[in-house]
Amino acid sequence: MRMNERYELRKHGKVYNFFNKLLKNPYFLIAPAVIFDIWLTIFPMCFAVYMSFFKWDPISGRKKYLGLGNFRYLFESEDFRKVFSNTIIYMIAILFVGLFLKLLMGIFLNKRTPAHNIVQTVSFTPHIIASVSIAVIFMWLMDPNNGVFNMALKALHLPTSYWYKGKDSALFSLIIVSIWSGLGSGALHIIAGLRSIPEYIYEAAKLDKASPVKTFFKITIPLLSPTLLYMVVTTTASAFTSFDTVKMMTNGGPDNATNLIAFYIYQQGLGFNQYGRAMAAAVILLLISGALAVINFTVLDKRVHYQ
């Protein structure tokens, strides 16, 4: 067999041998993906950091060095402070409330019956629906005049709401849409984490006569912590980069009540032609996201129990 292989290599010549060795090199195989990633991720990131120090007009190509002027403008701007507070409230709400609901739903659906399998499939549906479609559906449901939600409130003799059109309720409406759209996929992650826990651990807890509450907090939650950490990291990142729901439902209004930092970047760049400020806001978003990721992986990772 070895003689045949040597004969084949000799038969094809040096060019064949060269490409045969090249295609077996792992660094050569991953090179296209690395180049693609550098071009679409690393280069734009460095370019944004560089241009955040300038006042830049991409149409004329003119740019003026401002130093930290763009950052100074953002920190002194009342609008940006409002945007930042909206983003923090939005992130905390969908992180803690959303995670709690996903945990409850995952525990409830963690049964191997045909009915529960159907419910799991249906609950995953919002994850595969385009977020723009979800926003349009909820705009109809939350319409202050003819929406289903207000009709239900009227039928129950409860006060109605302006929902996404009201200054005080608009951000709350966006939070409802975001939590609902991620509820099904998050519950399936919880179910997958629960089913990875060995049954003999629960059997040992029963033999020790541990109560269901103690079993949940001493066994289920610690062994589910890798899944919970993953969900915390991904939910935090998605909260800071939420854009399409804001664009479709409220366009940042009313009165900046739902303007989040990702939409603010778009607004400053494409809306007001202030690309330097947009780049500076993007750098701030990058630093915040990086800091939260470091905190999640350094502080929370110490509390994660890997099997």
User: Which parts of the chain sit beneath pLDDT 50?
Assistant: 1, 7, 9
- Phi/psi at 19 (nearest 5 deg)? -70, -30
pTM to 2 decimals?
Answer: 0.84
CB 259, CB 86: distance < 8 Å: yes
Q: How far apart are CA 57 and CA 52, in angstroms?
A: 12
**pLDDT for the residue 307:** 62
What is residue 1's predicted lDDT score, i.e. its pLDDT? 47
How many CB atoms are closer than 10 A to CB 204? 12
In order, the DSSP letters of 37-91 are HIIIIIHHHHHHHHHTTEEEETTTTEEEE-TTHHHHHHHH-HHHHHHHHHHHHHH
Amino acid identity of residue 58, one-letter, is P
Q: What residue ranges define each of the domains in the chain, with the CATH number in brackets? A: 2-51 (no CATH), 69-303 (1.10.3720.10)
pLDDT in tens, 159-214: 999 999 998 899 999 999 999 988 888 888 898 888 888 888 888 888 888 888 88
Residue 7 has what pLDDT?
Answer: 47
Among 262, 273, 279, which residue's Cα sits nearest to residue 52? 279
The CA-atom distances, in angstroms, between 166 and each of 9, 154, 179, 252 are 74, 18, 19, 12
Residue 296 · residue 236 · CB < 8 Å: yes
Within 10 Å of residue 142's Cβ, how many Cβ atoms? Answer: 23
Nearest to 99 by CA among 170, 169, 178, 171: 178
Overall size of the chain counted in residues? 307
Residue ranges in the chain assigned as alpha helix (H):
2-22, 26-37, 43-51, 69-76, 78-92, 98-109, 114-128, 131-141, 148-155, 170-195, 199-207, 212-215, 221-240, 244-249, 261-266, 275-298
Look up residue 239 and give its two tokens.
Answer: 């909260």
| Residue 162 structure tokens | 């302006």
**Would the CA dihedral through 90, 246, 154, 156 be positive or negative?**
negative
pLDDT at residue 11, as a whole number: 54
pLDDT, tens only, 43-62: 888 998 999 999 888 877 78
- 99 touches 215 (CB < 8 A): no
With H, G, I as helix, E, B as strand and everything else as coil, classify residue 199.
helix
